[in-house]
Structure 1
């Protein structure tokens, strides 16, 4: 699992129980999945099609730092299937896992478009190719 993003839990992120609001965490996960997909597919036109069952295992409170990890499960023809894990860096607990987030690559009209990708690419490798 590659952890790319950290979020600091602030007062506006809390639910009435003074713990991290699940909807806020899901928004962070959706944004991270979209950003990861845009970079991998080299296309800003990517949308979330599906998010599998989510499993909340722990909580976070104000002041905690959570870390969001994303891994590629599979490259489809027009899609990218991701897995996500969020952990609390303060308590070392796993907060949530999402086993399947399906992101779809779109053309300019919003129709699914083949992306031609078969494996994870790192920006540093793309830059090395461009600088040759």
Structure 2
């Protein structure tokens, strides 16, 4: 799994228990998945269609650094299916894992659009 992003847990990211609010973590993950998909499919019109079971396994506290990792599961005709893990860099524990997230490429009309991609591309290889 490639870990692309790090987030620092700040006071505004905490729930009333003093730990990382799950909704904040999911927002970070959804944004990272969208950015990853936009880069892979070369289309800024991307939506999250589906997330499989979300498994919260541990938490984080203020000052911890969270690392978000993504792997491609498969390329569909109009979609990209990914898996994701967020882990606490301080404790090395997995905070959340999501096995299947489907991101869909849209056309200008807002309908799913074929993207023509079949494998992961790295920006350095496109230049």
With normalisation by structure 1, the TM-score equals: 0.95
Match of residue 98 from structure 1: 98
Is 2:120 the partner of 1:124?
no
Rounded Cα–Cα distance in structure 2 between residues aligned with 1:110 and 1:30: 19
1:33-66, CA deviations, whole angstroms, 9 ceiling, x for partnerless residues?
Answer: 0000000000000000001110011100000000
What SS is found at the alignment partner of 2:85? Answer: strand
Shift of 1:73: 0.2
Q: Alpha carbon RMSD of aligned pairs, Å? A: 0.4
Match of residue 37 from structure 2: 37
Shift of 1:109: 1.1
Match of residue 27 from structure 1: 27
Rounded Cα–Cα distance in structure 2 between residues aligned with 1:27 and 1:109: 26
Q: Which runs of 5+ in 2 are unaligned?
A: none
Q: Which runs of 5+ in 1 are unaligned?
A: 128-132
With normalisation by structure 2, the TM-score equals: 0.99
Match of residue 72 from structure 1: 72
